[in-house]
Amino acid sequence: MNAASLEFIPVQGMPEFLAGDDLVEHLINGLCANTTTLSNGDVLVIAQKIVSKIEGRFINLNAVNISTKALELAAQCQKDPRLVELILQESTDVVRCVPGVLIVRHKLGLVMANAGIDQSNVPGDDIALLLPQNPDASAQHLAEAMQQRLGVSVAVLISDSFGRPFRNGVCGTCIGCFGLSSLYDLRGHVDREERPLAVTQLAIGDQLCATANLVCGESNAGIPAVVVRGLADDYLKQSLPASHLVRPVQEDLFQ
């Protein structure tokens, strides 16, 4: 690895996760099997799905009581009314509902399809998986457990795949962060001609999760964690949660 380079190392060979599993134990074993030793300043990016799984965020769709609103929307978007009810329960607003598509604002502020509820790689056709209740807290919990068990100070990001306005294809996006500046402020910096920069904030969390998501892969590769090695110290000095990446509705300029 080149001195100044940034490396994404997949943690391969991890098991299917179940509610209550000790993720830290599995990560330590997985890293060991990959002969990867965590160091201070490493960033561990974890797929949302396994955080949700170990936190037991499974819902049996047969136990969901369907509201009238969910029935109406389900007819519009042609989705399972039980799933639509769950999506509504997880959201504050419906952004778009057309055949095949239900985009909402999740209670965490995230604008996303299906409130991030997932049925792929989940055991059973009637089982759905919600986002972690508080992904920033999940990230902090994992970082603290790593510190305790391995004595190393790592940052933790939790990543999910998001569709995006104006752009085709999904991109990894940061929904949980501890130990680094999810959003890094450049105000006060200047360009090489000593002029203030037009760009003022870098979405560090999203920029790392984008590539980590690619390394994890969708479909059946099943790589749930990636170690990012070589991140500049500047971004590690301050811990800012991923909630800082969510732009408040009233400040959004693209609408």
Q: Which parts of 36-65 interact with a second copy (CB under 8 A)?
A: 36
Please check whether residue 29 is in contact with residue 150, taking contact to mean a CB–CB distance below 8 angstroms.
no
User: Rg of the chain's alpha carbons, rounded to an integer?
Assistant: 19
Short-list 40, 45, 46, CA closest to 230 = 40
List phi, psi (to 5°) of 223. Answer: -100, 110
Q: Which of 78, 133, 201, 238 binds a second copy (CB under 8 A)?
A: 201
Question: What is the number of other CB atoms lying within 10 angstroms of the CB of residue 184?
Answer: 20
Least Å distance, CB 16 to a second copy, is 8
190 binds a second copy (CB under 8 A): yes
Q: Which of 20, 166, 233, 250 binds a second copy (CB under 8 A)?
A: 166
32 binds a second copy (CB under 8 A): no
- In angstroms, the CA 119 to CA 69 distance is 22
Query: Toward a second copy, which CB reaches closer, 62 or 220?
Result: 220
164 binds a second copy (CB under 8 A): yes
203 binds a second copy (CB under 8 A): yes
Q: Which of 32, 33, 98, 137 binds a second copy (CB under 8 A)?
A: 98
- In angstroms, the CA 50 to CA 226 distance is 13
171 binds a second copy (CB under 8 A): yes
Short-list 192, 174, 218, CA closest to 44 = 174
Site string (106-125) toward a second copy, x via CB under 8 A = ----xx--x---xxxxxx--
Q: Residues binding a second copy: what is the number (CB under 8 A)? A: 77
